[in-house]
Structure 1
Amino acid sequence: MSTPDLNLLVTLNALLAEGSVARAARRLRLSPSAMSRALARLRETTGDPLLVRAGRGLVPTPRALELRARVGQLVQDAEAALRPAATLDLTQLIRTFTLRTREGFVENFGPGLIARIAEQAPGVRLYFTQKLDKDSAPLRDGTIDMETGVVSDDTSPELRTQALFRDRFIGVVRSGHPLSEGPMTPERYAAGQHILVSRRGLRKGQIDETLERLGRERRIVTIVGSFSAALALARASDLIVSVPERYTGNLRAGMHSFALPVPTSDVTISLLWHPRLDADPAHRWLRGCIRDVCAERRSDLSARFEAG
C-alpha cells in the first residue's frame, strides 16, 4: 500500500471549509483546474466522492462531514508544529533539568543559580548529578541536559560548548598556618607536607613536574580523590593542598589561600550540551542563567582570594 500524499490534507481542509472548488482554489492560491484535479485525487484516495453536486453548488457526503473536524485539527496542529517556537513564558514553565558537574560547582554556583531560577521560573527544578567520567552518551540519549567540564581532545566533536570561566590552581592551608605569613617561595612551599588530589590515583601532578625542573621536590603524605576531602584534611592539620580557585571558593572559606610560587596551566571550564537541544527556548534560557551566575561569581571569588 502506497503512502498517501499528506499535502492532500491541506487541500481537503480547504474544500470542506469552503464547500466550493473555486473558493478553495482562491484560498490556496491554485487554479480551479488544479483544485479539481486535487479533488479527483482525494476521491480516489478516500474511496468517497466527498463533495457532490446539489443544484449549482456542492454538498459534503457523510464521510466528508465525519472528516471535517478531524482534518481541520490535523492541519492546525501541523501548522503550529512548523511555526517558530512561541515566546517562552518562564512563569508557566514546568520542567526538570539535569546538570552533571564535578564537585565544587554546586557548592559555589548552585545557590546563585537556584535563586535566579526561582525568581524567573518558579516551576523549574534542577537535578544535579555527579560527573564521574567524560562519557558523552548521557548527553546524547537525553539522560542529562548539560554538563560542565574541561573540553579536551577526547570530548565528542558533536557536542556544543560554551566557555564559562578560567580557573587557576592556588595553595590553601588552615588559618594560622606558618605559610599564612611571609613571602611564598618555591623553597617554603616544597618544604611542607602536601596533599595530592587525584581521581585516577596518580602519584604526582603538574606541580611536581614543575618543581622537579627547579630542582625541588615536595613531600606528598596522602592522596585523596576529591577537593572537598583534601580541604577537610588541610583545615584540620598543617598539610598543604593545591586546588582550583573558583571551583573551591566556598569549600575553603575561613582558610588561607595563596598564589602558587611555581607556574601552572590555567584550565577553562565550559558548559556542554547536545545539539538537539541547541534551539530549545527553555534550554537556551537555562544556559544563559548558568553563564550569568558564573560571571557574577568571578569578582566575588577574586576579592575573597585577595582577602584570604
Structure 2
Amino acid sequence: MPDADLNLLNALDALLSEGNVAKAAERMGLSESAMSRTLARLREATGDQLLVRAGRGMVPTPHALALRERVRGLVHESHAVLQPADAAMDPRTLQRLFTIRANDGFIEAFAHVLVARIAKEAPGVRLRFAPKPDKDVRPLREGLIDLDVGVLGDSAGPEVRVQALYRDRFVGAVREGHPLLDEAAITPERYAACDHVVTSRHGRKEGPVDVALAALGLTRTVAVTVPSFGAALSIAAETDLVALIPASYFERLRARSTLRSFALPIAAQQITISQMWHPRMDRDPAHRWLRGVVLALCRTPAEDEVQPARDRQ
C-alpha cells in the first residue's frame, strides 16, 4: 500500500471548509493553479470529485460532506501531535475554524461579544455555532465539535473535561402592562393561573417548575411549546402568555423594551452553565486560548477548576 501524503489532509480541510479553490489557495498560501492541481490529486486519491461546479460556485459531493468533519478532526489532531505540548501560541497568527455547540440562549446572549473579541485578537479564527439538539457527548469524542456549552448531562462520559462558566436561573417574562404585574405580589397561585409558553427542543411541556408547583398543589396550563427562547419571548411580547427564560439571556437582550421579567414565586434551582471538551484537547495551545476567551467573557471566578465530568456530578 503506497504511503499517503499527509500534506493533502491540510489541503482537503481547506477545500472542504471554504468550498472554493481560490479561497482555499489563499488560506494555504498557494497559487490558485497549485491548489487546482492539489484538488486533482485529492480526487485521484479518494476516487471522488469532492467539489463539483454548480453555477458560478462549487458544491461538495455527498462523499465530501461525509469526510468534512473527520478531516477537520484529523488535521487538528496532527497539529497537536507535531508541536510541543506547552508551545507558545500567538492568536494573531492563528488560522483555524472552531465549532462550538450551544443552545440559542447562550448564542444570542454571548455570541456577539465572543465574535467581536476573537475578531480583535485573532482575525484568522472563524467560528461555527452548531445547534444543540441533545447532550450527547459523541460529537466531542469524534472531534465533530471543539467545545460544548451548556448544562452537564447525565450521559457525559467520565473523560469529558468540564469547567463552570456561570450560574444562571430562570425568570418569568411578560409583556409590559400584563395583568400579572397589576399587583405588587406575584404569588404561586397567580403565576399558575396564567397561560404559559415554554421552550423545549423535544416538545416536552413539563419541567422543574411544574414539579415545584405540584408540591404546592398547583398546575399551570402550557398553551404553546416552541423550540427557542427567542420564539417564546416573541409570543410573550404580543400576548398574555408567560414565558420562562434564563435570566442571563433576558438581561443581555434589554433591547426588548416591551417585556418585563420577574422572579419566579416558587423555589427554582440555579443551573450551572459549563464548557466541555475532550481531554485530547487539554494541551492544545489554540484550544486553551479559545477556552480562556470564553471563560473570561462569562466572568467565571478563577478558582473554578477543570474536572472530569464524573467529579462534577
Per-residue deviation, 1:242: 1.3
Per-residue deviation, 1:215: 2.2
Q: Is the 8 A contact 1:166 1:267 kept in 2?
A: yes
> Could you say which residue in structure 2 is the equivalent of 1:192?
194
Can you list the C-alpha shifts for 1:81-126, whole angstroms capped at 9, x where unaligned? Answer: 5755432111111111111111121211011111111111111111
> Could you say which residue in structure 2 is the equivalent of 1:145?
146
> Could you say which residue in structure 1 is the equivalent of 2:233?
231
Can you list the C-alpha shifts for 1:131-186, whole angstroms capped at 9, x where unaligned? Answer: 11222222112111111121132112111110111111110001221223422111
> Could you say which residue in structure 2 is the equivalent of 1:132?
133
Q: C-alpha separation between the residues in 1 aligned to 2:83 and 2:229?
A: 48
Q: Any residues of structure 2 matched to 1:1-308 within 5 Å, and which?
A: 81=82, 83-181=84-182, 182-251=184-253, 253-254=256-257, 255-295=259-299
| Count of aligned positions | 217
Per-residue deviation, 1:248: 4.1
Mean Cα deviation higher: 239-248 or 122-131? 239-248
> Could you say which residue in structure 2 is the equivalent of 1:29?
none
| TM-score (normalizing by structure 2) | 0.65
**Poorly superposed stretches of 4+, deviation over 6 Å:** none
Q: C-alpha separation between the residues in 2 aligned to 1:154 and 1:237?
A: 37
Can you list the C-alpha shifts for 1:28-84, whole angstroms capped at 9, x where unaligned? Answer: xxxxxxxxxxxxxxxxxxxxxxxxxxxxxxxxxxxxxxxxxxxxxxxxxxxx95755
Greater RCO between the two (CA within 8 Å, min separation 6)? 2
Letter in 1 for 2:111: G
Q: C-alpha separation between the residues in 1 aligned to 2:156 and 2:231?
A: 27
Q: C-alpha separation between the residues in 1 aligned to 2:208 and 2:246?
A: 13
Can you list the C-alpha shifts for 1:4-49, whole angstroms capped at 9, x where unaligned? Answer: xxxxxxxxxxxxxxxxxxxxxxxxxxxxxxxxxxxxxxxxxxxxxx
Q: C-alpha separation between the residues in 1 aligned to 2:98 and 2:231?
A: 28
Two-structure CA RMSD over aligned residues (Å): 2.0
Structure (1 or 2) with the larger CA radius of gyration: 1
SS state of the match for residue 135, structure 2? coil
Q: C-alpha separation between the residues in 1 aligned to 2:112 and 2:204?
A: 32
> Could you say which residue in structure 1 is the equivalent of 2:33?
none
Can you list the C-alpha shifts for 1:202-241, whole angstroms capped at 9, x where unaligned? Answer: 2322212211221222222222232222111111101111
The 1:88–1:235 alpha-carbon spacing in structure 2 relative to 1, beyond 3 Å, is same
Letter in 2 for 1:164: L
Q: Is the 8 A contact 1:170 1:258 kept in 2?
A: yes
Unaligned runs of 5+ in 2: 1-80, 301-313
Q: C-alpha separation between the residues in 2 aligned to 1:261 and 1:83?
A: 54
Q: C-alpha separation between the residues in 2 aligned to 1:81 and 1:197?
A: 45
Q: C-alpha separation between the residues in 1 aligned to 2:233 and 2:153?
A: 27
The 1:244–1:126 alpha-carbon spacing in structure 2 relative to 1, beyond 3 Å, is same
Q: C-alpha separation between the residues in 2 aligned to 1:185 and 1:232?
A: 24
Letter in 1 for 2:193: A
Unaligned runs of 5+ in 1: 1-79, 297-308
Q: C-alpha separation between the residues in 2 aligned to 1:167 and 1:136?
A: 22
Q: Is the 8 A contact 2:136 2:155 kept in 1?
A: no
Q: C-alpha separation between the residues in 1 aligned to 2:206 and 2:83?
A: 56
SS state of the match for residue 202, structure 2? coil
The 1:222–1:294 alpha-carbon spacing in structure 2 relative to 1, beyond 3 Å, is same
| TM-score (normalizing by structure 1) | 0.66
Q: C-alpha separation between the residues in 2 aligned to 1:178 and 1:161?
A: 42
Letter in 2 for 1:198: S
The 1:220–1:94 alpha-carbon spacing in structure 2 relative to 1, beyond 3 Å, is same
What percentage of residue pairs aligned between the two structures are identical?
A: 49
Q: Is the 8 A contact 1:159 1:273 kept in 2?
A: yes
Q: Is the 8 A contact 2:85 2:284 kept in 1?
A: no
Q: Is the 8 A contact 1:192 1:239 kept in 2?
A: yes
